[in-house]
Amino acid sequence: MIPVRSALALALAIGLSAGAPLASVQAADAAAADSFIAAINKEIRDNYVEVTAAQWVSETYINGDTEVLVAKANERALSRLSANVDKSKEFAGVKGISPATQRGIDLLKLQTAMPAPKDPAKLAELTQIASRLNAAYGSGKSCTDPAKPETCRNLDQLSKTLAENRDWDADLEAWTAWHNTARGMRKDYVRFAELVNEGAHEMGYANAGDMWRAGYDMSAADFRTETDRLWRQVEPLYKDLQCYARHKLEKQYPGKLAADGTIPAHITGNMWSQDWVALYPLLQPYPGVSNLDVDAALKEKQYTPVAMVQRAEDFYSSLGFPPLPKSFYEKSQLTRPADRDVVCHASAWDLNLEGDVRIKMCININEEDFRTIYHELGHIYYYLAYNKLPPLFQTGAHDGFHEAIGDTIQLNLTPGYLAQIGLAGATKPSKEAVLNAQMKQALEKVAFLPFGKLIDEWRWGVFDGSIKPADYNAAWWTLKKKYQGVAPIVARTEADFDPGAKYHVPGNTPYMRYFLAHILQFQFQRELCKAAGFKGPLHECSIYGNKAAGAKFWAMLEKGSGQTWQATLKELTGKGEMDASAILDYFAPLHAWLKQQNKGQHCGWE
Ligand code: X8Z
Ligand code: ZN
């Protein structure tokens, strides 16, 4: 689980103790504040393992018993957190508190994405709902006869249909089957929103969304404006990609697309239309020019899940990062167990704040999972780099940084690197080959941008009451259409709960982090390539094997959240502001080509 502000599930590494409350503060002066924060840090260390261990088993052995264990562990931790946040209020306005202690106090109340009411009955109700939602997602299946397991299909199987078939009806059936698994979550989610809002209110926030937006070293209102600003920078690039993709899909499925300019939600090759990589064979600019079939190469080279992880580790090692601890390979869950339900959604965990790091995945031998491993290891090295800091600072500079580390490394999986490790054919560098490679990257990274932004716009609306339970599903599809230009081809109603079909909603993981990461990773890459002395166009750079770039990256990871993210970003890039100019530079060749292709086409949607 990603600790604190960037945690991956439920109550995250709330990490606070189940033990006796801290001694009540004697005199609220600066020295007392230092002692208070020191005690909190110790308490986190002492109690962290209990919560993360419960979370780990609840996701790797889903059953009624582990659901109880994790709910109880979270209940105790959240109760301690509330008490400690209350105590920390005694230091408000106290003069002379050191910046580090003040930062600790400020970070304390952001330790969870699931603020809980203090009322014991409501607290217990909240942790039980959260565990139930998480378990429901992990065990979600579509069965023709629920009594017969052989008639059931899980998310892997339904996703495979979407990714591998261009069959309109089969894809629609698989898409609908998965979305319908989330219907039963609606009632729990309504109550969940009420309870976290109550908890956020008690902690001094207007609602839970306001609290989520408070974790960015700026006001919640400024943060919202900031995400809008970044979206406006990248929107033209996305719109040109959407237009091109829609035009190609219209040729693939003549007469089937709606006339309003949207793309049907079930034909993007991905369950949530969040990336469109599966459409690469259909959308590649110059068929036959490049061999980028990593899926086939992984199978042909008989890669195993462990070998895929080792291959990714090798990249990080080539930068001078330390080896993964032996326990990582012993304790990680790399494949789906045959005999039980698990939460297969990939995640990276720090179980004890001192080296017991693991990933939890259900790796299939394909390119998507290969790339996800590089993503997850980014989290793992971040943990290892900041493990020496006090626990309150053991998080990303902000949660988007945490998501951007492994993604930055993904940008280095250039055709050149892939050829070097035998996973792609050697491609003669040509304008055509560059455009093919750019298209493949854009179907992952550019297609994602509007999706990354809309998930939390939906949740912010749910939490602030502007989206009412009676409109949950309609509001979801309004945002999908507004941002992505994607729409369902079959009517969805308020009997459905389509947001619940996306892991992070039942898992309660904030999502704006991924949008930010998709901007930041290009900024990081630009600086790392500079450090590596690379002079060519950004999209051609790979820092594989470059120790200077590695040292620069590691220095950033070691900072954790001990200073503002603006300070950390400034140390890396010279500028303390998120900025989409790097992603625009990166995709400049493709964007020019897309504009050319779209000439005379009707672009946009109603
Ligand atoms: O959830 C993830 C990671 C774990 S932090 C696999 N990602 C988002 C998603 O799958 O929806 C990575 C990209 C976006
Ligand atoms: Zn991640």
pLDDT digits (tens, 9 = 90+) for 197-250: 999 999 999 999 999 999 999 999 999 999 999 999 999 999 999 999 999 999
Element (H or E) spanning 357, and its range? strand 357-360
Helix (H, G, I), strand (E, B) or coil at 391: helix
Q: What is the CA radius of gyration of the chain?
A: 23
Q: Which atom of ligand 1 is nearest to the CA of 448?
A: 14
Residues of the chain with pLDDT > 90, as a percent, come to 94
pTM of this prediction exceeds 0.85: yes
Do 296 and 285 meet the contact criterion of CB atoms below 8 Å apart?
A: no
Residue 90 annotated in active site:
no
Measured from the CB, is residue 344 less than 6 Å from ligand 1? no
Rounded to whole angstroms, the Cα distance separating 593 from 574 reads 31
**What is the pairing mode between strands 263-264 and 486-487?**
parallel
Rounded to whole angstroms, the Cα distance separating 291 from 464 reads 49
Do 160 and 278 meet the contact criterion of CB atoms below 8 Å apart?
A: no
Rounded to whole angstroms, the Cα distance separating 436 from 451 reads 23
CA trace torsion 574, 580, 585, 586 (10° rounding):
100
3-state helix vs strand vs coil in the chain, percent to 5: 60, 5, 35
Measured in Å, residue 94 CA sits from the centre of ligand 1 at 41
Q: What is the mean pLDDT of the chain?
A: 94
Q: Does the pLDDT value for residue 261 go beyond 80?
A: yes
Collect all residues with Cβ–Cβ distance below 8 Å to 95 and sequence separation of at least 6: 30
Q: Which atom of ligand 1 is nearest to the CA of 452?
A: 14
Measured from the CB, is residue 270 less than 6 Å from ligand 1? no
Collect all residues with Cβ–Cβ distance below 8 Å to 479 and sequence separation of at least 6: 454, 457, 458
Question: Tokens representing 231?
Answer: 């979206």
Residue 504 annotated in active site:
yes
Rounded to whole angstroms, the Cα distance separating 154 from 384 reads 34
Measured in Å, residue 512 CA sits from the centre of ligand 2 at 12
Quick one: pLDDT at residue 292? 87
Q: Which atom of ligand 1 is nearest to the CA of 345?
A: 6
Quick one: pLDDT at residue 422? 94
Atom 14, ligand 1: residue with shortest CA distance: 514
Do 574 and 523 meet the contact criterion of CB atoms below 8 Å apart?
A: no
pLDDT digits (tens, 9 = 90+) for 382-406: 999 999 999 999 999 999 999 999 9
Q: Does the pLDDT value for residue 23 go beyond 90?
A: no
Name the catalytic one among 367, 376, 403, 457: 376
Quick one: pLDDT at residue 425? 84
Domain boundaries, the chain: 1-112
Measured from the CB, is residue 347 less than 6 Å from ligand 1? yes
Measured in Å, residue 375 CA sits from the centre of ligand 2 at 6
Measured from the CB, is residue 372 less than 6 Å from ligand 1? yes
Rounded to whole angstroms, the Cα distance separating 273 from 267 reads 8
Q: Which atom of ligand 1 is nearest to the CA of 514?
A: 14
